[in-house]
């Protein structure tokens, strides 16, 4: 890759595509799924907390991988161009981890997919619509993505094998992550950082302390 092509979005894409190729082979799929899926029992009983991160790079089949990869390519580059690579990665992982924490708390089934983090990226524009109400770009994108998120969550209620709680958690993580990465230590905006990080930490601590059990 050239320097221009070596974006954080492209690195994330490369990782999940490589893992996707590995899972095309039965033995590779066995090891990836055994070690990386969100598994409530493995997290709660064995302390395998990496399973709150690894599911973001694992997908169930080609269509799942393709849909999330196309979304990540366009949405990821859009957000990264606005906030920069470091803050983009922070937002991506905050959304993905919170999505997996919600899934860990409310969904006993195995789960995986980048959608937890992608819902966090969509939530970025919704949050910015409220944080920057005089910005016409954020107004337009925020309204558009707000209705897209509402439609998706409602549709998820009628879809089998969809981890709706992972998506809801991704939105929550994205909203809080936006407060964190958008904090400017001037004009009193540092309160956004402390509000976001405090709520994020408290939610995470409660879920982990509760061992993912309702």
pLDDT in tens, the chain (214 residues): 555 578 999 999 999 999 999 999 999 999 999 999 999 999 999 999 999 999 999 999 999 999 999 999 999 999 999 999 999 999 999 999 999 999 999 999 999 999 999 999 999 999 999 999 999 999 999 999 999 999 999 999 998 889 999 999 999 999 999 999 987 545 556 888 999 999 999 999 999 998 766 5
For 99, half-sphere exposure in the C-beta direction (CA atoms, 13 angstrom radius) is: 33
Burial of 70 (0-12, 13-18, 19+ CB in 10 A): exposed
Q: How many residues in the chain?
A: 214
- Interatomic CA distance for residues 32 and 26, integer angstroms: 10
Q: Please give the positions annotated as active site.
A: 115, 167
């Amino acid at each position: 890759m050239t320097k221009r092509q070596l974006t954080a979005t492209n690195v994330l894409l490369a990782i999940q595509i490589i893992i996707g190729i590995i899972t095309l082979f039965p033995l590779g799929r066995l090891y990836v799924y055994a070690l990386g899926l969100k598994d409530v029992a493995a997290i709660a009983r064995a302390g395998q907390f990496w399973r709150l991160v690894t599911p973001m790079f694992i997908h169930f089949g080609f269509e799942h991988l393709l849909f999330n990869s196309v979304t990540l390519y366009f949405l990821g580059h859009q957000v990264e161009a606005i906030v920069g690579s470091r803050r983009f990665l922070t937002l991506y992982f905050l959304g993905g981890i919170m999505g997996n924490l919600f899934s860990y708390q409310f969904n006993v089934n195995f789960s995986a997919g980048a959608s937890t983090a992608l819902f966090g990226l969509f939530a970025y524009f919704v949050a910015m619509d409220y944080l920057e109400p005089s910005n016409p770009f954020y107004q337009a994108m925020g309204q558009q993505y707000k209705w897209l998120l509402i439609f998706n969550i409602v549709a998820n209620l009628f879809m089998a094998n969809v981890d709706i709680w992972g998506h809801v958690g991704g939105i929550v993580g994205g909203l809080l992550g936006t407060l964190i990465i958008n904090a400017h230590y001037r004009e009193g905006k540092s309160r956004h950082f402390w509000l976001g990080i405090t709520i994020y930490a408290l939610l995470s601590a409660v879920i982990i302390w509760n061992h993912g059990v309702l």
